Amino acid sequence: MSVHEQFAEDLALYALGSLDGAERQTLETHLAGCASCRRELELLCGDLSLLSLTTAGPKPPARARQRLMSAIANEPRLPVAVPASERRQRSWWPALGWVAVTSLALVCVGLLRQNSTLQQDVASLRRQFTDQGSKLEQANEVVATMLDPEAQKIELVAAGNKPQPRGKAIYQRRNRNLIFFASNLPPLPAEKIYELWLFPANGGAPIAAGLFKPDARGSATVVNPPLPEGVAAKNFVVTVEPESGSHESPRGTAVIVGLGE
């Protein structure tokens, strides 16, 4: 063995920065004059940093670990320069302490890595959150513009034609979302109201889908009226109804009618 065996444990402790007092001085004095122990110390320091670097890795550095463990396991030999009275009783306890210190150091390195990974995760989530926030903001602005009564809504028709009453229903059956736009509706007679109806695809009775009065230009919007779940639509129709609306079925005349599906 190239290393002076009696220094094996001290070298390991020294590499960890855990050797103090007279023992440290003794070892340093010895290191100054012993190339083979200096070499062993270099190897141990290399092993320690290797162990630290690979705590999160897939392959534990078996050789480094083994060398460290055998360094710990080396039974203490008789002291060379330190009087027996100054030298603490060698036993497994210091070695166990050393193991604890190493374990703690490795755990700390592991936690630091975990922490940095978590910080990266947080940063990535924050970016996603910001992205989604700005997308939501854009969507809200689009909806707000569409629904703003102050916004100008100008219908373009074939040149030379008079704009006709028309409507567009955008219906999402799976979550019962319905947006309905109407334009160029004729002014309502007194005590009347427009009512939107959903005609189910299964041929069931028409479902009331909102009452509305258009603005001065004949424009109106209905957003998400209460609707039963999962109804596929065959068509949408707008009728003129008494001001309180009709509930069971349309009573008035149809003003605009969808083309159906």
Amino acid at 68: L
Residues 136-175 that bind Zn ion (CB under 5 A): none
Complex with Zn ion: residue 10 or 241, whichever CB lies closer: 10
- What does the alpha-carbon distance between residue 261 and residue 256 come to, in Å, rounded to a whole number? 16
Tell the smallest beta-carbon distance from residue 32 to Zn ion (Å): 10
Binding mask 226-245 for Zn ion (x = CB under 5 A): --------------------
Helix (H, G, I), strand (E, B) or coil at 61: coil
Locus of tokens 């705590």: 55
Tell the smallest beta-carbon distance from residue 10 to Zn ion (Å): 10
Six-digit token string for 45: 């320091």
Complex with Zn ion: residue 34 or 82, whichever CB lies closer: 34
Strands 220-223 and 177-183: antiparallel
Quick check: 203 and 259 in contact, CB under 8 A? Answer: no
Residues 3-62 that bind Zn ion (CB under 5 A): 4, 34, 37
Q: Can you say whether the dihedral through the CA atoms of 97, 98, 103, 105 is positive or negative?
A: positive
Tell the smallest beta-carbon distance from residue 116 to Zn ion (Å): 39
Tell the smallest beta-carbon distance from residue 3 to Zn ion (Å): 6
Kindly indicate which of the ranges 2-10, 12-20, 207-215, 233-241 contains the residues binding Zn ion, using the contact rule CB under 5 A. Answer: 2-10
Tell the smallest beta-carbon distance from residue 7 to Zn ion (Å): 6
Tell the smallest beta-carbon distance from residue 9 to Zn ion (Å): 13
Task: Tell me the site size for Zn ion, rule CB under 5 A.
Answer: 3
- What does the alpha-carbon distance between residue 180 and residue 209 come to, in Å, rounded to a whole number? 10
Backbone dihedral region for residue 245 (phi beyond 0: left; psi -120 to 50: alpha; all else: beta)? left
Complex with Zn ion: residue 34 or 69, whichever CB lies closer: 34
Complex with Zn ion: residue 70 or 116, whichever CB lies closer: 70
DSSP string, 82-109: S-TTTSPPPSHHHHHHHHHHHHHHHHHH
Complex with Zn ion: residue 1 or 190, whichever CB lies closer: 1
Tell the smallest beta-carbon distance from residue 64 to Zn ion (Å): 21
Edge-to-edge order in the sheet of strand 233-242: 207-212, 192-200, 233-242, 254-257
Amino acid at 202: N
Complex with Zn ion: residue 12 or 256, whichever CB lies closer: 12
Complex with Zn ion: residue 4 or 65, whichever CB lies closer: 4
Kindly indicate which of the ranges 1-9, 86-94, 157-165, 184-192 contains the residues binding Zn ion, using the contact rule CB under 5 A. Answer: 1-9
Which residues here bind Zn ion, judged by CB under 5 A?
4, 34, 37
